[in-house]
Amino acid sequence: MKHIIVLLALFIAQLVTAQEIDTNIHFLEDVKISFEMGSIDDLEVLDSQDLDSIFDYTRTDQSIELEIICNFDYQLDEMTISGTTLKIRGNSSELEEFKNKANKAKKALKNLYKLKE
């Protein structure tokens, strides 16, 4: 009976100490995100809300970079478009401007590949 009580006490102590909450907030520095698209349908995956969630963890006044790489060939009016890369650089203190640039880059790619919005 003593062994069961000791084991139960050790188990409870282990459970309580494992539940400590880490109050330190960890931030990212020099965030560089690269999206590699394998097909034209992958352009629809790029969402500004996903970028928001990533940039929530950046420190203020840090450099941020977004790169969109299209690794596919696209035939358009007897012309082949291949290997398109767009790179957007900014600062976390100007996040709204950076998001606007990312949206413009997405629209530019859609216009290049003649996709409907």
Assigned token pair, 55: 């940039």
One digit per residue, the tens of pLDDT, for the chain of length 117 reads: 565 676 666 666 666 565 555 556 666 667 788 888 888 777 777 766 777 777 777 777 888 888 888 888 888 778 788 888 889 898 888 888 888 888 888 888 888 877 655
CA dist., res. 30 & res. 22, Å (int): 23
Assigned token pair, 115: 């996709």
Residue 19's pLDDT is what? 56
- pTM for this predicted structure: 0.64
What number of helices (H) and strands (E) belong to the chain?
3, 3
Closest CA to 29 of 68, 65, 1, 82: 65
